Structure 1
Amino acid sequence: MTVDRRRGATVLIGLLIGLAGVLLSAVPASAHAALVSSDPSTGTIVPDAPNKVTLTFSESVQLITGKIRVIAPDGARADQGEPSVDGTRVSIPLRSGGGRGTYLVTFRVISADSHPVSGTITYSVGAASTPPAADDGEGVRADPVVRALIPVGKYLGYAGLVLLIGPVLVLALLWPQRLSRRGPGRLIWTGIGLVAGSTVLGLWLQAPYTLGTGLLDVRVGDLRDVLGSTFGAVMLVRLAVVVAAAFLLRPLLVGSGGESRLDLALLGVLGVAALATWPLTGHPTASPVAGVSVVLDTLHLAAMSVWLGGLVMLFGFLLPRADARELGAILPIWSRWAFTAVGALLFAGVVQALIEVSSLDGLFNSTYGRLILTKVALAAIVIAMAAYSRKLVRERSAEESPRGLRRVVLAELGITAVVLGVTAALVQIAPPRTAEAASTTATSTTVTRTLTDKTMSLQVDIYPAAVGNNSMHLYAYTPDNKPLPVIEWRATAALPAKNIEPIEIPLLRITDFHAIGEYALPQAGEWTFKFTARTSDIDQTTFTMTAKIS
């Protein structure tokens, strides 16, 4: 095996180590948007059938054809027509005259960062009943094979950027004229192939990932839907940029001298455009400051690609081939490049992490935060190595052997290959700000109870069942679930454990069988509620219940 091939094999082994890191650290892909509210609210009982259901998410979403349904208590479809979306809000039109009982809403949409979001909610009309079952598997997780391949494809794309951008920059500005460009050329073509291949793989995987189907269950119509989405449009732009760059790179790779300053400028523009396609299909698009996040992520990728790609060229070709005079001219320039790239990496990475993590708790108590800490620790080691190699460059004389520098560069490459793996895993995990939105939704609850005796069935809704202002809805029905007119309502709330005597709750009749009240609860605890419904001059029914107020 020749020296070039041995060094190429070493670089490949480093990339495979990083790929192993992706596979070992791969976790189930998390939805990166959260359902923050619905109308009707999940678990509530409404007196009359609504004409639509509204779902509100923590970030903008896109619809998937046929993946939003409302199932009536009898198992029939209650929705009619196509749902509509306006930013974060999805509206589902319903058939008129819906029957009494519990309805099931199933949904699967695409969040702003291209990840699918699925789930179910229930609400009841008039009275609760056994919820219907979804018959087509909405809400299931992505296929495990698809879920595992997505971070692999992203890692290959990152590796392609490293083998493309850094080597092109070194070849254009630092490469000695006397040296052959065949080896670097093969490296750059490999980078082009990895970027293009990972893009095609990403387009293919997005279809089953979106629909929750298997890898081979993709139909032409599914691919057409992906290509018509924002994700598909960005990926097609990436492919077009890579093809255009391949044509412009040919003179540079053969060393014919045919490349012009205009060609190099166009390559720079295409490089920035290609880099920007990564944040446009990831977390930055859903950031609270999306424009800033996209710029930061592009800068982060550019710095990584220049630094690591330059290290590959340095280790694989320049250190073993260039003579002392050439290295004496090249290494100081490269050292300044590396210093600048590391500074950009630190700046962009820290600011972006602050945006996504948002709190110390999120940093230490979430998978995303712990991976960020792992990435920081590995990056610190690499930065220390880079500082040592910079010191070697400054101190070495023209006659010294670069063997020590080669060892340091090889160690940098090995660790940064693992950093790439951690980065590829990060893009599949919901950042803490999304988890916080989901947690906020989960803690905004409604207490719903059904109280019955031989003459009446009383449905009670208390929202949000928390200290402070609350709303109460009361619905009266006969034992066979027909509306029961109530002449007068009374209700009180007491907290015996804290010696709080019964508080009168003012009630307003909305219909013959429905009353509402607004009241304030001063403390948390197990409250006792007492309800009296008078149905005639001589007939009345009293119920008592307890509910935890947090």
Structure 2
Amino acid sequence: MSGGGRGSLRSASMIGMTAAPRRWVARLGTAAALLITVVALLIAPAGPASAHAVLVSSSPAASAVVPSGPSEVVLTFSESVRKVPDKIRIIAPDGSRADRGDPSFSGVTVTIPVDPAGGRGTYLVTFRVISADSHPVSGAFTYSVGAPSPPPVDTGEDTRADPVVGTAVKVAKGLGYAGLVLLVGSVLVLGALWPRRLDRRGPTRLAWAGLGLVAFATIADLLLQVPYTAGGGIFEVTGAGLSSVLGSTFGAAHLVRLGLLAAAAFLIRPLLAGTVGRSDAIILTVLGAAALLTWPLSGHGAASPAPAVSVAVDAVHLGSMAVWLGGLLMLAGFLLRRADERELGAILPIWSRWAALAVSALLLAGTVQALIEVATPGALVNTTYGRLLLAKIGLFALVIGVAAYSRQLVRRRVAAQRPAPVRRAVWVELAVTAVVLGLSATLVQTTPARTASADVAGPQAGFFTTTLSSNLLNLQVELDPAERGNNSMHLYAYTKDNRPQPVVEWRATIALPSAGIEPIDVPLLPLTDNHATGEINLPASGDWELRVTARTTDIDQATVTATVPIR
């Protein structure tokens, strides 16, 4: 017995001597990976945070008719935008390029130089820009000089995103989430709940698979971002495009994530083997929390009206999801099948408390996130983002119901004796939550409801314009803001061949018969021979009937009518 004891002591001593160098190697590797991460942070350029930007106004306005050609077209977006080379074009009525030189970018404003001596007729403006969080934004609108004509066609390179690329981006993000779930669940359960007598190989393989999936998805995100922002095919990854992506906030966040994953890899190995020390476990927790922040920093969170709050709640939301879903996977795949009744009696109450905490954090973070991103109740049903969020909430409520059933089984101590009902409930939770995970991957690629509701790339919100024709002239009518209350009216007269038509006398009335409002005279002030303006107060919403008479000579005049929707 004495010799056996000395042998055991020698073995333990050798194990300790072997384990100590391993810990130092792990820490050195972690330090090196963190150094790379810090370098990536230092060389990454600072940039403004933004979300899916939308066009909120333009000058000239969308669908407007102006008397003479402008020297520049100004686009104003809801968020700061960056340039995509040769993706902003203005096409003249004859199909030629009307823009001159590169557009200038200043925060939310893009200014495009235009040849003011271009022909009369309708011009087409097409654009593709990148929000500061690297989401591409594209669109088009028209304006007319003199009078409208058939709109030209942009025969240049297509600015639309390849649908294959868009799908690949969503798949990559979904794989990243799946990998995070596998990694967090395996590490958490092996580090805190795994019985010593059970074999660790299965969960260990899952943990490494999760780490590999997150790393693969991160690299795929970086590569796919090149054609995603430029509008090319899935294999159109150029050096210049990749350099632009790596130099953006999006690229910096992904590089930092890769560095943190490399640092964590050195500490995960001893944890999976059950030999990690307390200090290393704390370092690993800090690395994991920092890595979670890279998802919202490269997405909607950093661009919200309250970026600090959004980034924090998004990270909490993502981490809680990974803990809950990863733990469920380990529970269903391993513990409920392998652990005995005594072990389950100790494990399940602890897991039940963890799950309750994770679900509470999910609900709180999700509520704050929804309030920031949706902004108004109407946006929940009027935008794609809102409808996807409602679907996610419905599925989440179903999962909560199943989880409550499982928790009741644990409280009644039925689960340890008969784990089959709990196992079935857990698999239902996993199946529904997997769908929720897919919706989350789609949501992060969808324009937030708060900005989608502001999109005015078509005819501008709060602005009415139309062209009315008679046998004598064409009349361009503009009403701003086309809402109840004070409005400004502009009238432009043109000949049938789109030349300014001098008007001797203007008269206009506007009425709302559905509300019993008789015609109201609109006082008009001539500004030029063919342009008059006036101010009018419209007391109610509805479809108003506008009647304009333009007298061109002592005996010639034309009267036109239009229905003007007032909100």
Report how far residue 292 of structure 1 moved: 2.0
Query: 1:212 maps to which residue?
Result: 231
Q: Is the 8 A contact 1:118 1:139 kept in 2?
A: yes
Deviations 1:375-425 (A, max 9, x none): 333323332333333333344389835444333333322332222223223
1:348 aligns with 2:365: yes
Q: 2:220 aligns with which of 201, 204, 208?
A: 201
Deviations 1:37-70 (A, max 9, x none): 1111011122232222111223333321211111
Q: Is the 8 A contact 1:32 1:434 kept in 2?
A: yes
Q: Is the 8 A contact 1:451 1:543 kept in 2?
A: no
Percentage of pairs with the same residue: 56
Report how far residue 246 of structure 1 moved: 1.3
Change (3 A) 1:541 1:185: same
Moved more, 421-430 or 469-478: 469-478
**Unaligned regions of 5+ residues in structure 2, if any?**
1-50
Report how far residue 79 of structure 1 moved: 1.9
Q: 1:492 aligns with which of 498, 501, 508?
A: 508
Query: 2:561 maps to which residue?
Result: 546
Deviations 1:136-194 (A, max 9, x none): 25453x32322322222221111111111122122223334444432222111100111
3-state SS of paired residue (1:66): coil
Q: Write the distance in 1 (CA, Å) between the matches of 2:69 and 2:381.
A: 45
- The amino acid across from 2:465 in the alignment is V
Q: Is the 8 A contact 1:154 1:198 kept in 2?
A: yes
3-state SS of paired residue (2:548): strand
Q: 2:123 aligns with which of 86, 89, 103?
A: 103
Query: 2:59 maps to which residue?
Result: 39
Alignment of 1:312-327 (within 5 A): 312-327=329-344
- RMSD over aligned Cα atoms: 3.1
Change (3 A) 1:483 1:372: closer
Q: Write the distance in 2 (CA, Å) between the matches of 1:518 and 1:176.
A: 80
Q: 1:122 aligns with which of 120, 123, 142?
A: 142
Deviations 1:225-282 (A, max 9, x none): 3223322222222222212211222222233x2x333322222222122212222233
Change (3 A) 1:492 1:403: closer
3-state SS of paired residue (1:67): coil
**Unaligned regions of 5+ residues in structure 1, if any?**
1-30
Query: 1:4 maps to which residue?
Result: none
Q: Write the distance in 2 (CA, Å) between the matches of 1:404 and 1:514.
A: 78
Q: Write the distance in 1 (CA, Å) between the matches of 2:435 and 2:509.
A: 59
Query: 2:15 maps to which residue?
Result: none
Report how far residue 489 of structure 1 moved: 4.2
Change (3 A) 1:399 1:34: closer
Change (3 A) 1:482 1:404: closer
Q: 1:290 aligns with which of 307, 312, 317?
A: 307
Change (3 A) 1:369 1:506: closer
Change (3 A) 1:464 1:247: same
Change (3 A) 1:168 1:404: same
Q: Write the distance in 2 (CA, Å) between the matches of 1:505 and 1:166.
A: 72
Q: Write the distance in 1 (CA, Å) between the matches of 2:485 and 2:525.
A: 17
Q: Is the 8 A contact 1:113 1:284 kept in 2?
A: no
Q: Is the 8 A contact 2:409 2:415 kept in 1?
A: no
Change (3 A) 1:383 1:496: closer
Report how far residue 88 of structure 1 moved: 2.8
Q: Is the 8 A contact 1:471 1:519 kept in 2?
A: yes
Q: Write the distance in 1 (CA, Å) between the matches of 2:549 and 2:416.
A: 95
TM-score between the two structures when normalised by the length of structure 2: 0.81
Q: Write the distance in 2 (CA, Å) between the matches of 1:397 and 1:47.
A: 81
Change (3 A) 1:322 1:74: same
How many residues are paired up? Answer: 511
Q: Write the distance in 2 (CA, Å) between the matches of 1:512 and 1:370.
A: 51
Q: Is the 8 A contact 2:191 2:272 kept in 1?
A: no
Q: Write the distance in 1 (CA, Å) between the matches of 2:517 and 2:413.
A: 82
Alignment of 1:82-93 (within 5 A): 82-93=102-113
Moved more, 291-300 or 207-216: 207-216
Q: Is the 8 A contact 2:128 2:159 kept in 1?
A: yes
Deviations 1:106-147 (A, max 9, x none): 01122355432211111122333332210125453x323223
3-state SS of paired residue (1:406): helix
3-state SS of paired residue (1:429): coil
Query: 1:17 maps to which residue?
Result: none
Q: Write the distance in 2 (CA, Å) between the matches of 1:504 and 1:320.
A: 81
- The amino acid across from 1:412 in the alignment is E
Q: Is the 8 A contact 2:61 2:460 kept in 1?
A: no
TM-score between the two structures when normalised by the length of structure 1: 0.83
- The amino acid across from 2:410 in the alignment is V
3-state SS of paired residue (2:93): coil
Q: Is the 8 A contact 2:292 2:318 kept in 1?
A: yes
Q: Is the 8 A contact 2:57 2:460 kept in 1?
A: no
Q: Is the 8 A contact 1:530 1:542 kept in 2?
A: no
Alignment of 1:128-277 (within 5 A): 128-140=148-160, 142-255=161-274, 257=275, 259-277=276-294
Query: 2:94 maps to which residue?
Result: 74
Q: Write the distance in 2 (CA, Å) between the matches of 1:478 and 1:388.
A: 76
Q: Write the distance in 1 (CA, Å) between the matches of 2:433 and 2:493.
A: 66
3-state SS of paired residue (1:210): helix
Query: 1:434 maps to which residue?
Result: 451
Change (3 A) 1:123 1:168: same
Change (3 A) 1:269 1:85: farther
- The amino acid across from 2:80 in the alignment is S
1:527 aligns with 2:549: no
Q: Is the 8 A contact 2:522 2:535 kept in 1?
A: no
Q: Is the 8 A contact 1:445 1:464 kept in 2?
A: yes
Q: Is the 8 A contact 1:493 1:502 kept in 2?
A: yes
Query: 1:424 maps to which residue?
Result: 441
